[in-house]
Structure 1
Amino acid sequence: MIAFLLSAALTALVQAPGPSPLEPLQPLAGEEADAKAPACTADRRWCAVIDTDETREHRVLRLYDGPPDGREPVASHPIEGPTESYWKLSGVLRKEGEEAILVGADMDLTAMYSGGGGMSTYRTLVRFAPSETPQDVLTVPVGGSLTIRACFGEEDTAQRAGACHDEYDFTGALQAEGDAFPPTLIYSTTATSFPGPVSRNEDSLAKPPLKPKDLVKVVDEACTIRRVFVFDPATKAYVPDAPLPDCSAYTVP
């Protein structure tokens, strides 16, 4: 029962990724909306699927110039992640007249802790261009939610004013800006914790007893940021205008 309640609480806390400039991909007619099924742009110009390689041990992102229909992909790119990760297509970025295309893939990670758990989503953009090797150009977290148990008895419950879990939530959003391609990307995030400014690096029970006024969600300014990512032709990757802070307290590694 306890495990069920914790799982339900975690599910309720999980944050969906924020707004995205990616054009959605829709499953082909007759296909179920499944991460392993091919999905296409509305005009069927591009289709993609996350599959496995010949060994069935590694995942591969395959791009097609139209519905697969048994044809070979125009390009394939391995996508790496922990064995327990779950991948799904998040859409494409393209521009009329441009031969290159960016395909987005989201990796979901979950973890269970003693008396808690967490879930995170990381978005990767892969650049496909004629006569070039596909390449990851950006990977950023776009969602995170964790609950960490903080009570181990009635005394703890009283000290915590009944708030027996520390909660950490993180949302990230990407927006395109300008007419260039690949476009400039604006990455904005919001990170919050409850009750108040708790930390995964500190013992919550070592702090003074909580009062009802302390049971509020607060914004972590250090991980609530805005960054401008510009595509660097030399490295063929996105580069931020300032370093990203360490916000691993809000994500599953």
Structure 2
Amino acid sequence: MGIAIGALALAAAVQASPDPGPTGAPGEPAPMRQSNGRLCLPDADVCFAVEPDPERSEGHYRLQLTDAANDGSNAKHEALSYHAGNRDRLEIWPNAIALPGWQAEGQAWLVGVLQNSHVMYSGGGGDSTRLHLHLFYLGRTAGLSKQLLDLPWRASQLIRACFNKDDQKRRLGACHDEYEFGASLALDPDNAGGEMPALTYRTQTTAFPQTARLWEDSSEAPPLTKDDLSHWTDFECSYQRTLQFNPASRRYEMDSPAPDCAQYTDFIR
């Protein structure tokens, strides 16, 4: 195969379905199945969970594979270790992308871990999530690759903008600036062949009201008008990139650098 994968022998009960792949638009992520509180592949009896590592200090986790045929108590296999900060939460990405190029040898999916962070501001707060993607292969053996990419996935910030009645009047009652960042990932329809096909990564970034800018002091802006009470799209941080797999680094890389949008995806310090 084109990518080295650490072999992990799953329980004998873990078998790939003969179905060609999950239903839905070709290349689009397919929803994972819920089973016993875990998320499972759309068309194979393999489930994933992120759990605290009992053998390590606080903040260390294990990405686990389990057999969906039972409660998982006797079919757990440690796959990868994760470390998260005190204000982070890890969870399985609730989708998987089937890779058709592996069907001759078995089945393969891109699966992910979401790393969620939260912070409180005075009168507001922020959330930020990154997607860590891995390749899972199921055939004669089963394996999970190391991290293939790490991307901003979603973020939101709520910044207080009213501190007295004059501010409320000047802002027409819109007393918070709101910022939203979201992303999507799918197979690139123009380059979906091979074992590690290209991916399309799209982002969209908006702000409310129209005049809101994270790098500017809203208290110094003119009073809002009714026309300002709608969302503004930051087109610089709403972009599309093709992700190609680099065999040398064993990671997906963008076809061109992404713009610096840390003001949306990182927290205010």
Aligned to 2:154: 143
Amino acid at match of 2:80: H
User: More displaced, 51-60 or 198-207?
Assistant: 51-60
Counterpart of 1:119 (choices 104, 114, 127) is 127
The correspondence for 2:204, drawn from 190, 208, 214, is 190
Unaligned runs of 5+ in 2: 1-26
Q: Paired residue for 1:176, among 176, 183, 187?
A: 187
Q: How far is the alpha carbon of 1:120 from its aligned partner? A: 2.4
- For the 8 Å contact 2:136–2:143, the answer to whether it is kept is yes
The one-letter code sitting in structure 2 at the alignment partner of 1:105 is V
Other structure's SS at 2:148 match: strand
Displacement of 1:121 in angstroms is 2.3
SS of 1:221's partner is coil
Asked whether the equivalents of residues 143 and 170 of structure 1 are also in contact (C-alpha less than 8 Å), the reply is yes
Contact 1:111/1:252, CA 8 A, preserved across alignment: no
Between 121-130 and 148-157, report the one with greater CA deviation: 121-130
Deviations 1:37-90 (A, max 9, x none): 4x32244343222122222521111235765451352x5112233222222212
Determine the C-alpha separation between the residues in 1 that align with 2:43 and 2:150: 27
Q: Number of residue pairs matched?
A: 226
Bigger helix share: 1
Matching residue's letter, 2:261: C
Instruction: Give the whole-Å Cα distance in 2 for the aligned partners of 1:167 and 1:126.
Output: 32
Counterpart in 2 of 1:92?
96
Question: Are 1:238 and 2:255 an aligned pair?
Answer: no
In structure 2, the CA distance between the partners of 1:56 and 1:134, relative to structure 1 (3 Å rule), is farther
Query: Offset of 1:97 from its aligned partner?
Result: 3.2
CA contact (8 A) 2:50 2:90 kept: yes
Q: TM-score, normalised by structure 1?
A: 0.78
CA contact (8 A) 1:110 1:252 kept: no
CA displacement at 1:136 relative to structure 2: 1.0
In the other structure, the counterpart of 1:106 is 114
The residue aligned with 1:163 is 174
Q: Percent identity?
A: 33
Taking structure 1 as reference, are residues 135 and 197 closer, same or farther at Cα in structure 2, changes over 3 Å only?
Answer: farther
Residue 31 of structure 2 aligns to a residue whose secondary structure is: coil
Q: How far, CA to CA, are the matches of 2:169 and 2:213 in structure 1?
A: 20
1:223 aligned partner: 237
The answer to whether the 8 Å contact 2:114/2:132 transfers is yes
Distance 1:158 1:194 in 2: 17
Q: Which deviates more from structure 2 when the two are superposed, residues 186-195 or residues 113-122?
A: 113-122
TM-score (norm 2): 0.74
Matches within 5 A, 1:34-113: 37=38, 39-53=39-53, 54-55=55-56, 57=58, 58-64=60-66, 67=69, 68=72, 70-73=74-77, 76-90=79-93, 91-95=95-99, 96-98=103-105, 101-113=109-121
Q: Which amino acid aligns with 2:181?
A: F
Deviations 1:78-114 (A, max 9, x none): 2233222222212333432356643211122222100
The alpha carbon displacement at 1:174 in A equals 0.6
Whether the aligned pair in 2 keeps the contact of 1:22 and 1:104 (CA below 8 Å) is: no
